[in-house]
Amino acid sequence: MKKVLLINGPNLNMLGVREPGVYGTLSLEAIIQSLNKLAESLSIELACFQSNHEGEIIDQIHAAFGTKDGILMNPGAFTHYSYAIRDALSAVQLPTVEVHISNIHKREEFRHHSVTAPVVIGQICGFGAQSYELGLRALVSHM
């Protein structure tokens, strides 16, 4: 059975409360519950992690080396400036799909650039919570 690590970055623990007009009304727990059902149907073991701390996210990426087959990641705001997370993804060389609930390219200028995008196999954004499901399907197809 293939193993995938789902990583959610800063403020994603506040989904359902934080700017529902942008991020929707589903909680992170609800998204994970739905994603777990999809993972089961795809015969994927899904491990889930969320942190507001860059170093903890890097530690999880490092720990995935040799133990996971791929990473599904919503880096949150770290998307736009965390070269440390980018370098961790590059170091472990695991297939990774970057997902975003909102269309980052239609938002504020600073959100248009992803420093992590060059080291992932693809980016899915703008489909709400469904971005996660599309991302998991894409990752599994690639693996």
Cα–Cα separations (whole angstroms), residue 132 to 5, 43, 84, 91, 121: 12, 16, 23, 23, 15
- Specify whether the CB–CB gap between 73 and 83 falls below 8 A: no
CA atoms within 13 A on the CB side of 99: 25
H-assigned helices in 18-117: 20-23, 28-41, 54-64, 83-92
> Can 23 be counted among the known catalytic residues?
yes
Distance CA 14, CA 25 (A): 10
Is residue 126 within 8 Å of 120, Cβ to Cβ? no
Q: Mind telling me the catalytic residues?
A: 23, 100
